[in-house]
Structure 1
Amino acid sequence: MKVACCRAICRLRRQPTTVLITVSLAIFIDLLLYGLVLPVFPSVLQGKVDDVSVANAILGSCYALGTLVGSIVAGRLSDILQRRQVLMCGGLALMMICTLALGLCTTFWQMILARLPQGLASGVTWSLGFSMLADVYPEEKLGMVMGVVTGANVIGQMAGPGLGGLLYYAGGQYCPFAFGAGLTLVDLIFRVVVGETIHWREVSQSPAHAISPGEPKSDIVSVRSLLGNWKVVVSCISTVGMTAIMAVIDTLLPIHLEERFPNMNSAIIGAIFTALFLPMAIVSPLTGRALDRWQPNLVWVTQGGLLLVSIVFPVLALPRTVILEVVVLVLFGIVTAVALTPVTPLLSTVIDPKVCNSYGTVYGLYTVSSSLGLMVGPLFSVTVYQFSGFLSCTLLIASSTLALALIMVSVEVFLWRRARKRVLNEDSDAILTTP
């Protein structure tokens, strides 16, 4: 019985699907935890600070700063040490401890000291999670895989605030934090079972994607060289733009809906947001599967996605009825899913695992870009919103991201024409030198 159980565990450890499940669970829990505490913080901060809204913003900034630092440091460290499991387990353990600590804090400064490392742990989860998937899946299958993870991300983001409010009213202040820590412990156990992924392909059973254990590899790719890669530039700029837009929606759309529809309460607004997140959760895996099947140029798809998101975004401010607002949110959710899904598979094409394994650094840059968007978007939009309203805010941000997208498309066309001209010149030289 014990032998059979050990064999089953060993088989489970060597399944790429197991890695996909654990990473999806980690991303889901990370976004769930982020949203879980949002409805709790205003009540927890009462009596600890004079201005709850400012204190809440400070806690959010601390979390984003921690994510930004943790993602690139953990990603780079995992490439240098060639270890992902230990760092991932450490990140999950830190997340569990900080989540429990947040529920036990008695002063605002203690909450800051707990929120900052919680952001660090989140950065570890994101950068190493995507790296693990790139370790075990070939490029032609990453579209569907990354789409599934994006869907898990959206579901966690959608479920967090509602579940947090429910747990708070049902079990008190500490209940959401204890629940979140328990979920993190479950994922930590799964992570230990899976084992290390960074050398996965060296022992892969598939000869097409196997890498010889003795095959020499070059040094880890530097951050500077990655930032000089056009695919990385496109991915990072697109990520900053799209996450900034999503952060603006999370921050300002509820306020806009309350002003546009005075009879609308928080529960109805939460239900309306389902029209945004549910299509994203469904369409993301479908988009990934389509990318795997047709193998399009992911640079063009990513740039086109940012263009579409920029065009549709201002339409959110136009509807005068709730039904039209829901329809526009569904459309925006579909467009956003199509735009976000190609970014992570595109980044995997930058690294050749037969030469080096720097997926940690690549996806660390991706997480940094996402964190920058989450910080810049609300800060910029709230300032504009106070003076001009929601429509002007969306138009200004959309015009900025649209300009970035058009610049990237122009550069891509230039690079394509230059490469095509080089090929034609080489063909002409070959014809002229032929005796």
Structure 2
Amino acid sequence: MPADDIETTPLIVEEGGEHEFDFSKYGWFATFRRSKAAVMCVASIALFTDMLVYGIIVPILPLIVQERLGMDSTSTGLLFGCYALGLLVSTPICAILSDRYHTRKIPMMVGMAGLSICTLLFGIANTYWQLMLARIAQGASGGASWTVTLAMLADRFGTGPKLGVVMGTVLSANTFGFIAGPVIGGALYQYWGYSSPFIFCSILGTIGFLAACTIVDPIKLKEWDLAISRRNGNTDDPPDYSEVDNNNPLSIWSLIKDWEIVSICMTLTIVASAFSAIEPILPIYLRQQFDANPSEIGLVYISVVIPTFVSPIVGWLSYRTGQRLMCGIGVVWISIALPLIALPDNLWLEVAPLLFFGATYSIISTPSLPLLGERVKEKGGGAYGQVYGLWNMAYSIGMFVGPAIAGLLMEHYGFFGTLCAFSASTLMIAPFVFVGNPFKYIPLKRFRCFKCFNDGYSSIPQRDPDE
């Protein structure tokens, strides 16, 4: 056993050439630190904290820029875009380093600590460039947290049926943070002053940092899980760990050349752009069409995120029905749901199409995570951080371009025309989601520009569909 594994789990005796643990010497806390439940708790805390802080800060930023600094809406939009910039820069760096140095714990600790520090910077910022720096740092911290958290879950739970349920459960915590953030931030800002939301966010980031400190790095617990399995008599069902080919390690470029991965990332970019496009144009539409006040708009918008609480069920169903099939169904449904949002003639009737629209996000995003993990396992393993880094980058690109495109379309074609345009874009990507790699059906090897996709597919042994 490597020295670092022995250091993290020091109480080991060897019997029959196998590493065994003297479990009687481990207290409840030491056992919990190495448990799958601890990983789920820390992952949920990390994503909940990240999205809660995001939800708290976003409604306050326009007030800071316009009322305190006296700047226009263009400056506000640029400040919002800085988050995606930080996310895009940090995600590949954290993904590659966490895979290369076989650690998930340290990047997560850095992400949580960075989140705690950058939110304090929001509270003391007096100039626009300081706000931009804080916003970029917030995005960079989010990139580290999201990428490493998803990879950590794949390390600990494998790529079997449990992974979809686990990731769906953790994403539900993320959704809860998204709902609670604006409410908490608004109350703190209104009743306790300008700095109170940022102090609260910093405390949450510190709690996330301490939670990350408690667990043993999940990537180093293979021997522990095998010992637990033998102790419980589950020798026929060992933990699902991917065997990493150290002689031919996966690079992020090899993942980008794999069309099975690229098709999912492209889909997520388009879907994320559709969801982020709703954020700036829906409140304007509800205000103009139904004369809705801010409270009513907030209540109606919550219906978009409520369906994501069914993500654990979606994760379980997707493994039974097929994860790629489930993603394809979600893409078709979102293309139907988008135009329906513009049809109701009553404010509260908007809730039904928005619930349908929100449900499609879980149907697409939840199966996509274990699907990417399974693809990495087929390619040799050892690159969960990088593949989920690509997932995170794809989402952030969609989040960045969606509002900008929606603003332009809204100005020229109205609310219904904008929704129809995004509906058409999602429908166009649907065939690629169902098929995966279209080049496996087309003999394009003689064309140099497509050769990498065919080679990337044919070099991997395919699963027997009867299994």
Taking structure 2 as the reference length, the TM-score comes to 0.83
Question: 1:316: Cα distance to partner?
Answer: 0.8
Residue 382 in structure 1 maps to residue 403 in structure 2: no
Gap change, CA 1:48 and 1:8, over 3 Å in 2:
same
Q: Counterpart in 2 of 1:431? A: none
Q: Counterpart in 2 of 1:159? A: 180
One-letter amino acid of the structure 2 residue matched with residue 166 of structure 1: A
Within 5 Å, give how 1:85-100 maps onto structure 2.
85-100=105-120
Higher RCO (C-alpha 8 Å, min separation 6): 1
Q: Counterpart in 2 of 1:53? A: 73
> Which of 87, 109, 116 lines up with 2:129 in the alignment?
109
- Runs of 5+ consecutive residues of structure 2 not aligned to the other structure: 1-22, 230-234, 444-453, 459-467
**Per-residue CA distance 1:208-264 (angstroms, 9 max, x = gap):** 4458999863343112211222331122012111111110111211111111111x1
Q: Counterpart in 2 of 1:35? A: 55
Residue 345 in structure 1 maps to residue 370 in structure 2: yes
- Kept after mapping to 2: 8 A contact 1:38/1:164: no
Distance 1:212 1:92 in 2: 27
Within 5 Å, give how 1:281-360 maps onto structure 2.
281=309, 283-292=310-319, 294=320, 296-352=321-377, 355-360=380-385
2:409 aligns to what SS in structure 1?
Answer: helix
Deviates more, 1:121-130 or 1:226-235: 226-235
Identity %: 31
- Runs of 5+ consecutive residues of structure 1 not aligned to the other structure: 423-435
Gap change, CA 1:215 and 1:146, over 3 Å in 2:
closer
Question: 1:31: Cα distance to partner?
Answer: 1.0
Distance 2:397 2:419 in 1: 18
- Kept after mapping to 1: 8 A contact 2:406/2:418: yes
> Which of 388, 396, 407 lines up with 1:371 in the alignment?
396
- Kept after mapping to 2: 8 A contact 1:202/1:211: no
One-letter amino acid of the structure 2 residue matched with residue 203 of structure 1: W
One-letter amino acid of the structure 2 residue matched with residue 272 of structure 1: V
Q: Counterpart in 2 of 1:218? A: 247
Gap change, CA 1:192 and 1:211, over 3 Å in 2:
same
**Per-residue CA distance 1:358-395 (angstroms, 9 max, x = gap):** 11101000000000000111111101111111111111
One-letter amino acid of the structure 2 residue matched with residue 161 of structure 1: P
Gap change, CA 1:74 and 1:353, over 3 Å in 2:
farther
Question: 1:203: Cα distance to partner?
Answer: 3.1
> Which of 116, 129, 135 lines up with 2:155 in the alignment?
135
Within 5 Å, give how 1:200-279 maps onto structure 2.
200-205=221-226, 206=229, 207=235, 208-210=237-239, 217-262=246-291, 264-279=292-307
Distance 2:159 2:433 in 1: 23
Deviates more, 1:400-409 or 1:106-115: 400-409
**Per-residue CA distance 1:104-156 (angstroms, 9 max, x = gap):** 10111111111111111100001000000000002221110111122122221
RMSD: 2.6
1:169 aligns to what SS in structure 2?
Answer: helix
**Per-residue CA distance 1:82-116 (angstroms, 9 max, x = gap):** 11111110111111100111111011111111111
Distance 1:315 1:162 in 2: 28
Q: Counterpart in 2 of 1:12? A: 32
Distance 2:294 2:289 in 1: 14
Distance 1:366 1:411 in 2: 16
